[in-house]
Chains A and B, each alone.
Chain A
């Protein structure tokens, strides 16, 4: 399968714990995006990378959130000291060079976070 893959698919954690999600984009895609989706809402942009450079971060991305893409391939999204409000589906997407601005994003199936 050559689609966007995310791991883990579901994470249950206690408030205050740290969690990390991983995203493997489609191999030739140089842009990678993180979105967050809460129940009954549309996805909200968090951040995106072009290769290893993080080009934009939403104000939704508080200091407890950090995203990396160290070698321009896979990316990780870490949430420190989780809060119940962090419970959501975290979606990763990737796109080809030149198509990113036009929004032809390929999404993974998401990582669902439940904070107890």
Chain B
């Protein structure tokens, strides 16, 4: 069955620290997409990144970077030099277009960045 596990419930860091949010997924398909969404206190989920199962290249976008490793079924998210504005709940999600057109979310990791 499809499943996304975010073992870290809450992480607290001080501004300018680097932080990595872990995501482990389970799927029976060879074609799938992985995502990260950010949910600030306002509640609106904001899309951060999409990665398909055939592209294992790591990606960097400003202070954000993502490490996709199929061998360990992981898709980890690193924020470099964290800022207070990064405080939010971050969700990892899995989509399997061959079977269904929906996202399966993990339980999220609450990140608190203190000044």
Contact = CB atoms under 8 A, between A and B. Distances in A.
Interface residues of A, number: 27
Contacts of B28: none
Interface in B61-115: 91, 93, 95, 97, 100-108
Interface stretch (A13-21, A42-50, A64-72): A42-50
Interface of A: 3, 31, 33, 40-45, 48, 55-56, 58, 89, 91, 93, 100-110
Contacts of A44: 105
B54 to A, nearest CB: 13
B38 to A, nearest CB: 11
A103 B105 contact: no
Q: Closest 9 CB pairs between A and B?
A: A42-B105, A101-B97, A45-B102, A107-B45, A103-B95, A109-B44, A110-B43, A109-B43, A43-B105
B interface majority secondary structure: strand
Contacts, number: 65
B48 to A, nearest CB: 11
Contacts of B104: 45
A103 B103 contact: yes
Nearest to B95: A103
A86 to B, nearest CB: 18
Given A91-B45, A101-B101, A109-B44, 4 more contacts: A3-B44, A45-B102, A102-B97, A104-B47
B43 A104 contact: no
Contact of A103 (B33, B106, B107, B108): B33
A41 B43 CA distance: 13
Contacts of B52: 102
A69 to B, nearest CB: 15
Contacts of A33: 102
B111 to A, nearest CB: 15
